[in-house]
Amino acid sequence: MSEGTRTIRIEALARVEGEGALTVHLREGRVEDVHFRIFEAPRFFEALLRGRDLTEVPDITARICGICPVAYQMSACHALEAALGMSLPSPLRALRRLLYCGEWIESHVLHIAFLHAPDFLRFESSIAMAQSSPELAEQVRSALQLKKAGNAIVNLIGGREIHPINVRVGGFYRIPRQDERAALAETLRAARDRAHALLRWVAAFELPAADHDYEFVALRHDDEYPMNEGRLVSNRGLDIAYAEFPNEFQEHQVPYSNALQCRRKGGGAYFVGPLARWNLNHDRLPPEAQQAAAESGLTWPCRNPYASIVVRAVEVLFAVDEAIRLLDTFEPPASAFIPFEPVAAEGVWITEAPRGILYHRYVIDTVGKISEAVIVPPTSQNQRQIEEDLIRFAPSVLDLPDDDAAWRCEQVVRNYDPCISCATHSLKLKVIGR
Amino acid sequence: MTRPLVIGLGSPHGDDRAGWAIVDRLEAQGDTRARRVCDGVELLAALEGQDDVVIVDASAPVDTPGRVRVFVWPCPELAGMRAWSTHGLGLVDALRLAEALGQLPKRTTIVAIEGETARAGAPLSEAVARTVSDLADQHVAAGKIESRTHE
């Protein structure tokens, strides 16, 4: 159907984190409008933080999402420590990076194997995929074991697997013992083969062709693949400190979504997340990860958003190896944290959440209460880019039946692994005749 | 006989916390066969190697906050239903995937506690808190949770 008006409407996006919907309006073969709608409101947490003691912020912000709580803790702690003029010693910095490795592994493996792979293999779900053959069932089982290695990191360093509690402003509450660290390193060594297998699996997927001149935005560090620090850079010449973020980026309210959309000031959409990190930091990956990426056929630069699944698998392998390196070279600090005295100040920081850059800004008063909080999560930054991808993509599915067209549009959304925040996951229960 | 593993599926928000709250109470009473999960994939991992599990989850508000329904999987009433899930994989999907992977426990019981609110950061409602307390005590005393209605 290529004449007249047509609307592709997906009321509840499947296989994404959170509650979202998608509407694509087409008229006479052209895309008239695309609305990526988000029902949840993470800004609620910014208001919730006002008046709270700064020491509570890492635990409160961890509750924003069950999938990426570490990211919220990392951006929050670093922003508050910047406000307080603190600089963490090397072992505490290493533990923070190790914790982030755990979350990258958990989050990426979940998305690759359970949410995104079915798109490329033409299954409606990971269940159908696992039912289809013993080999694919084994891939899913292996991915589950790999994800558990990430959980083990978050459990030990973060204090528990869900909404970690061991992170504090100034460091940690407890440093893991040597025997605990050694056991974790063994768990991760056992997971390396699974990470390689995961990369080989997704590298064999047939990726739809796509190529677009995106502005990729990510952190860049002097000598590391970025997680907790770096300058904010783009492939179009952006190179700024965290504090300059509001000069270059601006959040916008759109009438159809509860989440603000962040765009380039005076510009438009930009792309954050694994593909942006790869394009801006591939030379910061260790040689083993670079070699594995090359063997997977991943190109650089890469402007195909469908290749994000391959980059995620490269980042999983990197995170496993990086976690092992951090554990093997860890020298326990004299103290688990650096003490501080509150001062009236402002702090800004950005870290690399699994889905891309996560901006936090806090203003604290003289007694250490939060008077202002701003949080810009990666999905709000990718929202406009997702819509622009769909504006380009939707005309190519005009001739497909509605269900298939909707599925293909969803796949475009899932390239970004949108995390629409964690509100509730109750079971909607309707019992008839009981 | 080994006691069943109690798995609380939930989030920190309002009555969606019910599953976690049961686990909190069991742990406080020294029960080590209880754990929290926050999504279907975590649930899937928790099922691995288990023979007997009780999954406690909140169900969406209807008209009786705190009401308990108990199902034994496989259960046709739940099987055809899409979970009201904010995550990529819900409770029912996780159980179906566990079946596909050969990781389903011999006995899987689902305890659904009807919620009143899942507002971000809200505490448990009074009705759900009462149910959580009763069910945890019942589990500690008898090693099982039975179907009953709390009006």
Hey, what domains does chain B have and what are their CATH numbers?
Answer: 5-142 (3.40.50.1450)
What tokens does A168 get? 């504090």
Query: Would you call B62 and A147 a contact, using CB atoms and an 8 Å cutoff?
Result: no
pLDDT in tens, A177-199: 999 999 999 999 999 999 999 99
Nearest to A72 by CA among A85, A56, A59: A59
pLDDT at position A2:
44
pLDDT(B85) > 70:
no
Which class is A43-380 in CATH?
Answer: mainly alpha
Query: Which residues of A touch chain B, with CB atoms under 8 Å apart?
Result: 14-19, 40, 44-45, 48, 63, 66-67, 110-111, 114-115, 125-127, 130-131, 137, 140-141, 144, 147-148, 151, 161-163, 420-431, 434
Write down the pLDDT at residue A428.
32
pLDDT band at B1 (very low <50, low <70, confident <90, very high): low
Task: Report whether pLDDT(A285) > 90.
Answer: yes
Structure-model confidence comparison of residues B85 and A286, the more confident one: A286
Q: Inform me whether the C-beta atom of residue B113 falls under 8 Å from chain A C-beta atoms.
A: no
The residue of chain B nearest to residue A59, with distances taken between CA atoms, is B12
Say whether pLDDT at A327 is over 90: yes
Contacts of residue A425 in chain B, CB cutoff 8 Å? 9-11, 16, 38-39, 83-87, 90-91
CA distance A363 to A243: 13
Q: Which residue has the higher pLDDT, A84 or B88?
A: A84
Statement: residue A98 has pLDDT above 70: yes
A359, A376 Cβ separation under 8 angstroms: yes
- Cβ–Cβ below 8 Å for B88 and A427: no
Q: pLDDT at position A427, please?
A: 33
- Identify all chain B residues contacting A427, using CB atoms and an 8 Å cutoff: 57-60, 78, 81, 83-84, 90-92, 112
Nearest-Cα residue of chain B relative to residue A432: B77
Cα–Cα–Cα angle for A340, A341, A343, rounded to 5 degrees: 125
**Mean pLDDT score, A313-317:** 98
Residue A27 has what pLDDT? 80
**A16 and B12: CB-CB below 8 Å?**
no
Q: Tell me, what's the pLDDT at B5? A: 94
C-alpha of A127 from chain center = 24
Average pLDDT (B65-72) is 91
- Interchain proximity A424–B118, CB inside 8 Å: yes
Question: Which residues from chain A sit within 8 angstroms of residue B112, using beta carbons?
Answer: 427, 429
The pLDDT of residue A16: 56
Please check the confidence at residue A359 and state whether its pLDDT lies above 80: yes
CA dist A219 and A233 (Å) reads: 6
Q: Pick the closest to residue A415 from A388, A377, A375 (CA basis).
A: A388
Which chain A residue has its CA at the smallest distance from B47's CA? A144
Residues 6+ apart with CB under 8 A from B111: B54, B55, B56, B57, B68, B69, B70, B135, B145
Residues A5, A27 contacting (CB under 8 angstroms): yes
% of chain B beyond a pLDDT of 90: 44
Q: Round the average pLDDT of chain A to a whole number and report it.
A: 89
Task: Work out the minimum CA distance from B2 to partner chain A, whole angstroms.
Answer: 24
The more confident residue out of B146 and A386 is A386
Residue among B45, B60, B88 minimizing CB distance to A428: B60
Question: Which of A355-364, B60-69, B112-121 is predicted with the least confidence, judged by mean pLDDT?
Answer: B112-121
Residue B85 at interface with chain A, using a CB cutoff of 8 Å: yes
- State which residue of chain B sits closest to A61, comparing Cα positions: B121
Higher pLDDT, B77 or A274: A274
Does the beta-carbon distance from B60 to A148 stay under 8 Å?
no
A360/chain B closest Cα distance in angstroms: 20
- Which tokens hold the place of A411? 């796949």
**pLDDT band, residue A337 (cuts 50/70/90):** very high
Q: If you search the block for the tokens 């069991």, which residue do you land on?
A: B26
Query: A427 and B57 in contact (C-beta within 8 Å)?
Result: yes
Give the mean model confidence (pLDDT) for residues A101-125: 94
Residues of B in contact with A45 (CB under 8 A): 120
Per-residue pLDDT at A10 = 66
Amino acid, res. B140: V
pLDDT tens-digit readout, A130-145: 999 999 999 999 999 9
Chain A contact present for B102, CB below 8 A: yes
